Amino acid sequence: MIKFTNSERAFEEAQKVIPGGVNSPVRAFKSVGGKPIFMASGQAAYITDIDGNRYLDFVCSWGPLILGHADPRVVSAIKQAAEHGTSFGAPTEGETLLVKQVIKMFPSIELLRLVSSGTEAAMSALRVARGFTGKNRVVKFAGCYHGHADSFLVAAGSGALTLGVPDSKGVTPGSAGDTLIAHFNDLGSVEDLFRKHGSEIAAIIVEPVAANMGVIAPNQGFLQGLREIATRYKAVLIFDEVITGFRLAKGGAQELFSIQADLTVLGKIIGGGLPVGAFGGRRDIMQCIAPIGPVYQAGTLSGNPLAVAAGLATLKLIDTEPNFHKSLDEKASVLEHGLIEQAEKIGVKATINRVGSLMTVFFNHEKNILNFKSAMQSNTIQYKVFFIAALNNGIYFAPSQFEAAFVSAAHSYDDIEKAISASKAAFEAVAALQ
Ligand code: PMP
């Protein structure tokens, strides 16, 4: 058993001054029990905690670090930018370069605005969709996450499957009531909402590959169906590609599934590990934004020079490295098959959903995990045991069943093999429960 003495002490201190000791809830390890581990450093595919324990990392800061930790090319871009000043509150040329790079990779984007987080980007995209259409309501899918703005903290509960109820204290019934909940991979549920409320719906927002209820791929025709419904009802189709953008292909899920959204929400990789988000899309919609239009949106640190430098360095590498995604996906596929083989050998019933370099090991007997409801059938006790045993064997998976594992370009085939061998002990620990 490894020791976490320093992390425990740091957590005690943090709890005195930070709610729950963490600045984002998933870091608290609540769903796997135990206490959070405090990190000291990261290098390539590995992270080291403040007790000196080293782990092979499959969280990768929840997605931004597609090149791994402290990639020297990204670090050097940040250092260079920092030497010229960290913020001006005035435009810089780097912002235009980053935006041009994004537009090159995402053909559906004609104009793009930079912000500082995925939450801000999703919130602003919805505001501009409302401003553009003159309508108020939004269709969101149960189990999809779009940051913590009021309109998005709504999910279906039993008996409230269509009209939204707040998922968090502090969200007013007014905000929640404008959010209509549909079911992922169920076009009928979207049609129903539009039949009843079509004239009031400004936008459909979706994670084109769901990654916040565990990874769930869209069924064939699902995204095309959303495209068709949105066009028919003159609603704005918003793809939240905060996780999928630049990861599933250069042009994200839109490239992978050959579909164009009206607006795209970006985050994570676009900042190369520093805080950046962005939203953009059709020129006619994006022209509604201040200072050229009536929809207000702003940010003191938006387009921050350090963050822009890190993002630009990251995107350029993704864009120019030959076979970047092919090689990333192949490594993820080896991991997927290795984990399945281990689980089968040991007799643990697990289902792995993988799309490209995103995957989730569901402790779930269902073969087809297609939506929030089936994801929720997973055995979270088994996941907890799996997570802890993996951690004790030097592998850092997400501290929750309903998140993705992220493979980065910095993971080598040796690293993948190491994770597969370590998973043996983790699946054995699960089997011991049965
Ligand atoms: N959208 C999606 C799909 C996300 O996964 C997240 C965060 N995990 C967000 C939006 C919010 O981004 P942020 O945490 O940067 O505010």
Tell me the H-state helices in 83-186: 93-105, 118-133, 173-177
pLDDT given for residue 368 in this prediction: 87
| Mean pLDDT value across residues 241-266 | 98
Residue 186: what are its φ and ψ, rounded to 5°? -130, 90
Cβ neighbourhood burial of 173 (10 Å; 0-12, 13-18, 19+): exposed
pLDDT given for residue 348 in this prediction: 95
Position with higher pLDDT, 175 vs 18: 18
| Mean pLDDT value across residues 331-360 | 97
Q: Judging by DSSP bridges, how do beta strands 54-57 and 395-396 pair with one another?
A: parallel
User: Considering the entire predicted model, what is its pTM?
Assistant: 0.97
| Mean pLDDT value across residues 105-120 | 98
pLDDT given for residue 160 in this prediction: 35
Q: Which has the closest alpha carbon to 2: 37, 42, 46?
A: 37
Rounded Cα distance between 172 and 315, Å, is 38
- Residue to mutate (ligand 1; options 26, 145, 151, 264; most atoms within 8 A of CB): 145
- The 3-state DSSP class for residue 63 equals coil
Q: Judging by DSSP bridges, how do beta strands 236-240 and 263-266 pair with one another?
A: parallel
DSSP state of 295: B
* pLDDT of 268 above 80: yes
Q: How many CA atoms lie within 13 A of 411 on its CB side?
A: 31
pLDDT given for residue 168 in this prediction: 82
User: Which ligand 1 atom sits closest to the C-alpha of 118?
Assistant: 12
- How many Å lie between the centroid of ligand 1 and the Cα of residue 192? 28
Ranges in the chain annotated CATH 3.40.640.10: 72-320
* pLDDT of 349 above 60: yes
Please say whether the structural domain 72-320 has been given the CATH code 3.40.50.10860. no
| Mean pLDDT value across residues 372-382 | 93
pLDDT given for residue 200 in this prediction: 98
Pocket of ligand 1, beta carbon within 6 A: 62, 117-119, 122, 145-147, 207, 212, 240, 242-243, 267, 277
* pLDDT of 94 above 80: yes
Instruction: Name residue, tokens 């951690």.
Output: 391
pLDDT given for residue 31 in this prediction: 85
| Mean pLDDT value across residues 347-363 | 96
- How many Å lie between the centroid of ligand 1 and the Cα of residue 267? 7
Tokens representing residue 416 in the block: 């993948």
Ranges in the chain annotated CATH 3.90.1150.10: 5-70+323-431
What is the sign, positive or negative, of the torsion defined by CA atoms of 301, 304, 306, 312?
positive
Q: How large a percentage of the chain has pLDDT more than 90?
A: 91
Q: How large a percentage of the chain has pLDDT more than 70?
A: 97
Rounded Cα distance between 317 and 102, Å, is 13
In this prediction, residue 1 has a pLDDT band, given cuts at 50, 70 and 90, of confident
Mean pLDDT of the chain: 95
Residues carrying an active site annotation: 145, 240, 268
- How many Å lie between the centroid of ligand 1 and the Cα of residue 239? 12
Rounded Cα distance between 191 and 203, Å, is 13
Per-residue pLDDT tens over the stretch 122-176? 999 999 999 999 999 999 999 999 999 999 988 733 333 344 556 788 989 899 9
In this prediction, residue 365 has a pLDDT band, given cuts at 50, 70 and 90, of confident
- The 3-state DSSP class for residue 163 equals strand
Domain 5-70+323-431: which CATH number of 3.40.50.10800, 3.90.1150.10, 3.30.2350.10, 3.30.830.10: 3.90.1150.10
Rounded Cα distance between 123 and 146, Å, is 8
| Mean pLDDT value across residues 412-418 | 98
- How many Å lie between the centroid of ligand 1 and the Cα of residue 266? 9
Rounded Cα distance between 392 and 429, Å, is 11
Position with higher pLDDT, 160 vs 283: 283
Per-residue pLDDT tens over the stretch 210-249? 999 999 999 999 999 999 999 999 999 999 999 999 999 9
pLDDT given for residue 59 in this prediction: 98
